[in-house]
Amino acid sequence: MADLSVVFAGLRLTNPFMLASAPPAATGEMIQRAFDAGWGGAVTKTIALEPAVDVQPRLARLAMGNKVVGLENIELISQRQLSSWLNDLEEIKRRYADHILFASLMGAVVREEWHSLIRQIQEAGVDGFELNFGCPHGMPEKGMGSAQGQDPAIAAEITRWAKEVATVPVMVKLTPNVTDIVQIGRACEHAGADAISAVNTVSVLMGVDLERLEPRPSVGGTTSFGGYSGKAIKPIGLRCIAQLAQGTNLPLSGIGGIGGWQDAAEYVLAGASTVQVCTAVMFRGYRIVDRMKKGLSDYMDEKGFGSVGEMRGYVLPRITAHEELDSAHKVVASIDEALCTKCGLCYTACLDGGWQAIEMESREVFPRVLANKCDGCSLCTHVCPVEECITLLPL
């Protein structure tokens, strides 16, 4: 059986699955229930010297039918007093000494503020800190969150301040709302950061209610830009983790769109040592970690990975510059008539969005690929509703 334990920033976790800094980690009681459910670690909802006040409502979803693919929030940091958090943190570490607990922190660009936060929370016994340089709404207007994570000099300066007083590992949580996340990661690395978590939410406007003529989520008729999470942002998170794995030497915690063991496996293969989960827990509860752990363990056994460490970054050598891809590699689409339903989706897609390489005289006959016109783009394989009906064959 594969070994799911990991060493992350010098800390040993029984498994790589952590709660992200978010509503599922909003109180000590919630974190303890998550640990009872089997999570290896958790990052608290972001703590500051002064609690936040949230608007209502503050969530909006993007759905395809009944399936939610993304969730926007305009929620701020913790609503709880620092004193309440200190009591919770002490209790968590007293009862769950073998679980890893990071405290997420946010503050202004004021050295004394960060020192005060870290000193007080450190005494409660946390295993590490996560500096929130990523929140894209509300806090940036005050010079915090992603406003700090978008400026390498400020991010580095705050990291140095944290390292001046922290006696436990300091992780920085980065925003994807930048043109070059590696530049920010390197600045924090050079300033002494012990690890990086990525990514925080993606800045969005979720949508407009066409009946009420109001943006969503509507707070009495108005809204603000918010943070987007869920399955839809996984490709963004994976790209950022792979870039940071290639561009820095720090251990990475992957965040964004993780809802099953397959997502976690992809993040590890792209360079993450641990993964953090939020939106999937909000929709399905803490117990999803059971299936995640079993699924990842079974997959590792199947592929011959004895540990998460062996698996980490396995695909990175295969992620290269576009100019280094093999332009001589050619493929052609092939349609399996035994599976084809004659729906015509491949024909329409290729006709109006491809290379006019599929013929279909009527819905009574099978579509046919014109090999001499097929450019191997793969569009037909993605619109086909029948798995494995259309495949790409090498030439």
- Residues 17/37, Cβ–Cβ less than 8 Å: no
Number of alpha helices (DSSP H) and beta strands (DSSP E) in the chain: 13, 20
d(CA 162, CA 131): 9
Question: How do 195-198 and 170-174 pair as beta strands?
Answer: parallel
Contacts of 134 (CB under 8 A, 6+ apart): 145, 146, 149, 173, 174, 175, 176, 198, 199, 200, 201
Burial-class residue 123 by CB neighbours within 10 Å (0-12, 13-18, 19+).
Answer: exposed
Helix 28-37 and helix 288-303, axial crossing angle in degrees, nearest 10: 40
Name the CA radius of gyration of the chain, rounded.
Answer: 23
Instruction: Tell me, yes or no, if 135 is annotated catalytic.
Output: yes
- Residues 215/187, Cβ–Cβ less than 8 Å: no
CA-to-CA separations, 365 to 341, 343, 346, 350, 384, in angstroms, rounded: 10, 10, 13, 17, 16
DSSP state of 364: T
User: How many CA atoms lie within 13 Å of 195's alpha carbon, on the beta-carbon side?
Assistant: 26
Nearest by Cα to 168 from 224, 101, 225, 232: 101
Mind telling me the catalytic residues?
135
